[in-house]
A and B are shown apart, each in its own frame.
Chain A
Amino acid sequence: MSERERFFELLPFVVNGTASPDDAAFVQAQLVQHPELQAQVDFQRQVQASLKTSVDGSLRGVPADIGYDRIARRIAAEARPPWWRRVMSSFAPQPSWRLAQGLAMGLLVGVGTMLVLEQQAPDTSPVRSTTRGLADGPLLRVSFHPQTTENEMRLALIEARAVIIAGPTRLGDYYLKPAAGHLKEARDSLVKSRVVQQADEVPSLPEELLE
């Protein structure tokens, strides 16, 4: 590379102050040796000044919290419990009814279990917890656009034939269990949905989400 080429390569970074001391010294020496190169320095400084004027002009009156309101809305939406949890909580019993309802539920479960056991042949397969069973993969980890309504989310899940088994996480992700044998179809359907930001296959529910 010729000295002139090196001069032109280094000059922008000497003008913006990021060149190394050696490179800056080289450029200075070239300027002393070839005073006509000063016009190149003036040119680069003019480019710098023009950019500064133009960009500073576009920033006039722009506050430091520009666009923050959009994020604040998203953060508030994240903090809101998901629709299915709100629906579930509407069925939550009132404190004064808890004892009576607990007894009734216990009775129902007891009678139901007896009836089922009477009808079924003995099962020798190992018993696994429901939560663990649901958590077994493969699953889909999905994030929805923050503005998604409950109805849109519900429709996307129905179309994908998948149910939410956990979420939202701190990052706003949901874990879905697709209908048996329909993992790929569920993922394709979710990826195509305009309310879904991302849908990835995961082997199982992360350990920290298991109860």
Chain B
Amino acid sequence: MELDNAQVLALLKEVADRDEKAFARLYESVSRRVYAFAMHKSGDPAVASEIVSETLYQVWRAPTAFRGDAKFSTWVLGIARHKLLDRLRGMSPAHEDIDEHADQLAGNTPDGFEALSEQQRREGVASCLEKLTDPHRECLYLVFYEGMALAEISELQAVPENTVKTRLFHARTKIKKCLQLLLAREGAAS
């Protein structure tokens, strides 16, 4: 259950007095969200679990760092994001670049999404989401899974709001391009 900022600040005050029960309550209020975020970015359950621990241990060590300016969950995801960036730095991206295949498309290829059946849409979009670059996937995740507002995403990603908009634009364009490719490949196969 998500706690409001007043509840969070009261619990953090108790955490500052080393109250483990208060900390456990805070932990359980955000742990699965942090895990989901870390899992979405890393794809590795072991890394995701460690990121949850490391992120919330930071809350235990410095409970007064949260001042209630943002939502607690957004603030915690920001810490997790930094830890993930450190952890994943230097690792090769797991996605294939959609742009590499874009030149295979003919100029008159129809809009992939509209031409697909219900089931193809489900499977196609899921598959194309996997192929996005990390900043684009993250933006979509924050908008559509976390339900964050533009300003919150901009704060969490530490970029201007226009950059978030541009990332969303590119994410949408790339998924559409990917769907067109899937459609073109299916057409060629049949």
Contacts and interface: CB of A to CB of B under 8 A. Distances in A.
A46 B35 contact: no
B83 interface: no
A16 B126 CA distance: 18
B49 A67 contact: yes
Contacts of A75: 20, 60
A13 interface: yes
Taking chain A's interface residues, is the majority helix, strand, or loop, or is none over half, making it mixed?
A: helix
B184 interface: no
Contacts of B125: 43, 46-47, 50
Contact of B31 (A18, A66, A170): A66
A189 B76 CA distance: 32
B172 interface: yes
Nearest to B50: A67
Interface in B36-82: 36, 39-40, 45, 49-50, 52-53, 56-57, 60-62
Kindly state the interface size class of chain B when it binds its partner: 35 or more
B147 A16 contact: yes
Contact of A18 (B24, B57, B149, B176): B149
Interface of B: 18, 20, 24, 27-28, 31-32, 35-36, 39-40, 45, 49-50, 52-53, 56-57, 60-62, 111, 113-114, 121-122, 125-126, 129, 140-141, 143-145, 147-150, 165, 168-169, 172, 175-176
A66 B145 contact: no
Contacts of A42: 113
B126 A54 contact: yes
A3 to B, nearest CB: 16
Interface residues of A, number: 37
Contact of B147 (A17, A44, A64): A17
Contacts of B121: 46
A53 to B, nearest CB: 7
28 contacts: A9-B165, A16-B147, A18-B148, A43-B176, A44-B172, A47-B129, A47-B144, A50-B129, A51-B129, A51-B140, A51-B145, A53-B126, A55-B145, A58-B36, A59-B35, A64-B32, A65-B24, A65-B28, A65-B31, A66-B32, A66-B35, A67-B35, A67-B52, A67-B56, A68-B31, A70-B50, A74-B57, A75-B60
Nearest to B43: A58
A88 interface: no
